[in-house]
Homo-oligomer: A and B are copies of this chain.
Amino acid sequence: MRRRGGWWQDRFQDRGARITAPRELVIEILQETSDHMSASDVYIKAHEINPGIGLTTVYRTLEMLTEMGIVQKIEFGDGKARFEIVDSPGGKKHHHHLICLRCKAIVDYTEFMEDEMEYIKKTEGKLAKKYDFEITDHAISFFGFCRKCR
């Protein structure tokens, strides 16, 4: 039997969520990819490793991880939601997206984060206070046209 849990273990505990094989696997898969995976993508990969896993469980797990702030659900406009790990230690770098309105191409960018950090920190605090929100994450998207679609 594998060692249970990881850096996210505490968050499970806080919420009274059980640590199960499917949940561990979904996190592991998202942690090891740099793709924008749909629920179905995750399911296929999960199924290769552990064929016992059901699609429904993948959906439920992704929803739960999203609520817990471990995963970010992103929708690029092509009809299926994508999921990305948020800030795992040693995982993907903090990034945002550039989206082509015509061909739906996605570019991840990780640059210019110093400026962003400064802006986010400032705004997040003010918003949290004004609207009584506990802010756990943010997303920034730029829309436009890539070279080919102009």
Contact = CB atoms under 8 A, between A and B. Distances in A.
A119 interface: yes
Given A132-B146, A133-B98, A134-B145, A112 B139 contact: no
A9 to B, nearest CB: 20
A144 B137 contact: yes
B111 A115 contact: no
Interface size class of A (residues with CB under 8 A): 35 or more
A141 B139 contact: yes
B140 A127 contact: no
A138 B143 contact: yes
12 contacts: A69-B143, A107-B131, A109-B130, A116-B119, A116-B123, A118-B119, A133-B144, A136-B143, A136-B145, A138-B142, A139-B139, A140-B140
Given A119-B119, A127-B142, A133-B146, 8 more contacts: A66-B77, A66-B101, A73-B77, A112-B123, A112-B127, A118-B119, A136-B143, A139-B139
